[in-house]
Structure 1
């Protein structure tokens, strides 16, 4: 494999690993410093809104500057926001205000950073001489690996080191990710020159949203992803914790997450190896069917092992379906609008877990955990019934799958 895809995938893994460690470690460090669970909740809530807004509006910037540069800058922002905390701790001591401030700064790098890497994918395919199926499949597997390793690494590091040292380690992962991205030639991330009479940023942002909302294909892929995220977050974040608590087995929740990540790792690996041969329709059907079966198994709450099996099946199907969607995004989103469209998609996916957990909380409060477990997978079934048809006719590649010329705007027949 050439240096371009290796650098890209290594950077992606480290960046995601750093975020995964931080997601577990930062709330624990806030609790250690402040001694207040409310403070941890305030930090999480204060950083969520800026992350969504950054995802929505920074896409215009990503479509205007070199995408390799935007990937590097966002990783540096993430590294600086985390590294600032131990520095402040040495100088004045940390408080909730400092966690909120640098949490907001860090959120400005997280979703835009994800978008910048997504927008860079087509160029990596072109310059790395690698099939899009292989690249996206490997990326999905690496993401699952980070999901497996990150929480365990955070827990281990919290035992071995103090909070400040852990923050330095987390910041270093983002810094090394930025340095690895610099191994990608600057020309790879180059975008088409913006005309001197180009419309202003707000108009460009609206143009991106218009293309997204006017395309049945893009709406379908976005809504299926959102529905999957809503149901998965509801299961992970509330339904299963309540279920295992009622069963007096709270420690088993971690094994469900492990089964899910292991399934994703296997699914991504299968797509990376066989995706180009097994056919897109096969991957599509297997992904949708597997996700439905996995959600149904989990929803039964019949036994711990059935829940574990359902989580693995969901992960396996997600690895296949997520990889296929990644390839379709490379091919179908116009090159000059990737930042805006993918930024909007990532912003929506950022708020989807909160919607799922809130819905599960309401159903559990006014019904029961079993009611929530049965009703919420219905969100996935409804989305699949409404949007599947829009995707079936758009699975095969265009004549030129990497250029994304202007005809790609009219994705729907």
Structure 2
């Protein structure tokens, strides 16, 4: 693969290490501030709200702007936002509302970055290498995701939990530097547009709704996210109350998810070259649902670590394949708006699912029962789309490769 891809990969892997520290620390901070399942659900909901509010215009905008420059600016702003949490805590002013505000801000910035990144990757590798490239990116992100929670858990012996977020702030700066060293443009050469952003959004919506694969992926992911977002949102509460885990052991749980993601990400390319999209992606989702049922009845932190690691890995295997399929189907100049539309449609149910899951757990007083129900529904939804939708035979909808691949 090209040298510019390796620069990109290195910078984003370091940034992923920092992000995994924040993903471990933020729920723990909210739990320590409130001890509430609803508050944890609120934090998860706040993460997805920007996708609903800004997803469509940001996607269309990133197709028009310099993607690389945008990603660098986003990294710098995200560093400031994350660093505000430990700074506010040191002044004795930290509250759950500040956590919500920072989550909203960083999610908005992350939306812009991820949309631009989605359009950038096909500029760095050829189409035949998309699944392998995305798999390697996710694998290295997962390896960083293993080290992040373990490092953060070890640091808790020396510093308050809020202070570990400085690691994430520094990693955003590293990412910005790495991006600035890449020479290749992240935008495909196209003629200047005479259309407005609103017209671009409408074109993207028509494209997604008219395409059988894109339409069904978005519908399926909306259903899956509606029911499954609670599993991650309530992981700290589940570990604390049902698995009797200490703070450091929760770090192991998050790290196990990283190990599972790492292993499944590395297998994404080889599996996809041997088996169909439906077999690999939807099969992984069905297995993830079954493992979530098993996780619901785990009796110790160690069995929970194993089951969560496998389930998280299979979920990522599904995401790698759906993302790569979209990149292979959609023309480059439309990637930003199409992926943002897909994200808005797929994530539209997340706030409802996160809040409803939190209320349901508090009402029933039984996180295990809720987790088991989520696992069963995940399995059934994936099975239905495997048997009764175009996703079971997605390959027939791919665009033909150009006669001369870019070198």
TM-score range (shorter-chain normalised) is 0.7 to 0.9
Q: Between 216-225 and 44-53, report the one with greater CA deviation.
A: 44-53
Unaligned runs of at least 5 residues, structure 1: 405-413
Change (3 A) 1:383 1:173: same
Note if contact 1:290-1:313 (Cα within 8 Å) is conserved in structure 2: no
* 1:71 and 2:68 correspond: no
In angstroms, what is the RMSD of aligned CA positions?
A: 4.0
Counterparts in 2 of 1:105-116, with a 5 A limit? 105-116=105-116
The reply to whether residue 276 of structure 1 matches residue 277 of structure 2 is no
Number of residue-to-residue matches in the alignment: 395
The question of whether the paired residues in 2 share the 8 Å contact of 1:263 and 1:312 is answered with yes
Q: How does 1:7-406 map to 2 (within 5 A)?
A: 7-25=7-25, 49-50=49-50, 52-83=52-83, 104-126=104-126, 131-161=129-159, 166-195=164-193, 197-198=194-195, 200-238=196-234, 241-242=237-238, 245-246=241-242, 248=244, 254-273=251-270, 275-278=272-275, 280=277, 282-284=279-281, 286-299=283-296, 301=297, 303-304=299-300, 307-347=304-344, 352-364=349-361, 365-366=363-364, 368-388=366-386, 389-395=389-395, 397-400=398-401
| Greater Cα shift, 255-264 or 303-312 | 303-312
SS at match of 2:125: helix
Per-residue Cα deviation, 1:379-401 (whole angstroms, up to 9, x for no partner): 32343244332212222543217
- Check 1:359–1:254 CA distance in 2 against 1; reply closer, same or farther (3 A cut): farther
TM-score, normalized by length of structure 1? 0.78
User: Structure 2: where are the runs of 5+ without partners?
Assistant: none
Would you say the 8 A contact 2:289–2:376 is kept in 1? no
Name the CA shift for 1:119/1:280 in 2 (closer, same or farther; >3 Å): same
Deviation, structure 1 residue 137: 1.0
CA deviation after TM superposition for structure 1 residue 343, in Å:
1.7
Q: Would the aligned equivalents of 2:56 and 2:341 in 1 still touch at CA under 8 Å?
A: yes
Q: Is the 8 A contact 1:122 1:402 kept in 2?
A: no
**For 2:231 and 2:262, how far apart are their aligned partners in 1?**
20
Q: What CA distance in whole angstroms lies between the structure 1 residues aligned with 2:237 and 2:83?
A: 32
